[in-house]
A and B are shown apart, each in its own frame.
Chain A
Amino acid sequence: MNHAMPAEEPLIHELSFYAANKHKWLASHPNQFVVIAGDRVEGFHADYESAFNAGLKAFGLGQQFLIKQICETEPVYVVY
């Protein structure tokens, strides 16, 4: 398998914003899914599906948003 990430990360600002707030959110919303567009936090959700539907409702089809699970250590998914 090869890398498939685009050369420029489209959600780089949101990822930086997440990194800056991660420790605070780890205390308040551990393991929840946060939805971020720009510097705006839509909310925190129990699962990816709820997070996606809330993000779509808040930002519509035209604006990208990041969904990130708030974890101490970033999950790594193994494909054997």
Chain B
Amino acid sequence: MAGRIVVRISPAELQRRGPIIKVLISHTFAEITEAKSVGFEFPESLPFSALIDTGAAVTVINPRLAVRYKLRYTGPERITALGHTGQYPGYAAAISFPDQQLRAFDTVRIIACELASAEMSCLIGRDILRYWELIYNGASGEFAIRDLRP
């Protein structure tokens, strides 16, 4: 899959909402293959909004989604948010970007943590951004993502 998208909104909307893209969080390819071999099906995932957040060291999702999709728990992780440090559950997941020409991430650790905004279900953190070039153009109200993985 090609590795560059440009999202055009408006300067005011981009300032208000931030750079938001649609994501699909699901089980990893290996889990889906394993599940099919034993006749098991995971709950169907639906796309939702994710904020690209250069202030987040890791990718975070709403805990209700982790439970709803029955993501696989792989241990607690320590997070500092709003001045407080605590343990939060880490899950293995695949992240893809429906209807966008962006390459998926098959196996990443995501952390379930309540987000400040009910409007937002996911923060795409720097664990994903380390593989992307992100250009934010506030004046024109657009941002561009280029996947730099070989």
Contacts and interface: CB of A to CB of B under 8 A. Distances in A.
A5 interface: yes
| Chain B contact surface mostly | strand
B123 interface: yes
Interface residues of A, number: 32
B121 to A, nearest CB: 13
Contact of B89 (A5, A67, A79): A5
Contact of A68 (B38, B75, B84): B75
Contact of A1 (B28, B73, B82): B82
Given A52-B92, A61-B40, A65-B74, A77 B31 contact: no
Contacts of B63: 4
A10 B116 CA distance: 27
B74 A4 contact: no
A49 B30 CA distance: 11
Contacts of A5: 76, 86-89
A4 B34 contact: no
Interface in A1-25: 1-6, 9-11, 14-15
Contacts of A15: 75-76
A25 to B, nearest CB: 15
